[in-house]
Amino acid sequence: MITLSNLFLALFLALISLQLGLYVEFPIVTLMGCGLSVLGGLRLFTIERPTWGLLFVMVASVGFVGSELLEDWAVEGSWVQSSSLYAAFLLSILVYLLWLFAARGSASAQAPLERDTQTILVMGLILLLLIPPPQAAVVSLFGIPIAMLTVAGMLLASIVLIADRCAGVLLSRLLLMLPLFLIVPVMLVLLGTAQGPIVAALGSIFPDSDGYSNIGFSPYQRLDASVFLRPSTSPVMRIEAATLPSRYLA
């Protein structure tokens, strides 16, 4: 059964494969790591869980054989050629994590987190922190360099811890926010398109400062106060009242 924890754990291992492949400068590491992560997440087959003794043998053999091969396959003058044993050790840890991911059992309702998942997260985070992030994935935020791949790996590891426990609540909350996620981009496009016509329509409502008549209160006219100050026999204001409100208006 494909659960949320399986999905995010597969993404976590694929991210480690990506960073390790960029670090050792072997694209095949990234491709194989991502492919095996997807196959392990789909649970199409079951294999036996590796033991600690098998882990020691695998690390020793892969480290020794891999160091000899990496020294010949590595790019001339790269750090892998001079430190092939360390690169082979990192690759053997990744192979162990992928194997453990494909062989892990189903989660128990009594346990906070399945034991193999805990091992993958702990060793995966250690491996992620041991691998220097590529310069293309480092951004500067307020003058502080931040490795985005490392941050993404920590975020995925945190989501794995709570994915299955909060699956129903998270999905219901995400469904409530789905209309907002759809409306906001659409409204941004509509407001950007309608900004010019709206501003032009609002501007035509206000009085025109270039031309105005002597009297009137329409939006396109402005009252000329000098009409009230100049002597004139024509009425400038008409007031209807039962009694004379003031002798000044006689």
184 is a domain residue: no
CA distance 38 to 32: 10
CA distance 9 to 101: 8
Say if CB 89 and CB 119 are below 8 A apart: no
Q: By C-alpha distance, which of 28, 29, 22 is closest to 135?
A: 22
232 is a domain residue: no
At 147 the pLDDT is: 79
DSSP-assigned letter for residue 50: P
CA distance 168 to 161: 15
**Span 25-75, pLDDT tens digits:** 777 888 888 888 888 777 776 777 777 777 788 777 776 766 667 666 666
> How many domains does the chain contain in total?
1
Percentage above 90 pLDDT, the chain: 0
At 116 the pLDDT is: 80
CA distance 163 to 107: 12
159 is a domain residue: yes
DSSP-assigned letter for residue 106: P
pTM: 0.59
Q: Please compute the mean of the pLDDT values over residues 237-245 and round it to a whole number.
A: 68
DSSP-assigned letter for residue 240: -
62 is a domain residue: yes
128 is a domain residue: yes
241 is a domain residue: no
129 is a domain residue: yes
State yes or no: pLDDT of 170 exceeds 70.
no
CA distance 195 to 199: 6
Say if CB 180 and CB 170 are below 8 A apart: no
231 is a domain residue: no
**Span 175-220, pLDDT tens digits:** 777 787 778 778 877 877 887 777 776 665 555 555 544 444 445 4
According to DSSP, the residues that pair with 146 across neighbouring strands are 139
At 80 the pLDDT is: 67
Supply the range of the domain harboring residue 94. Answer: 4-165
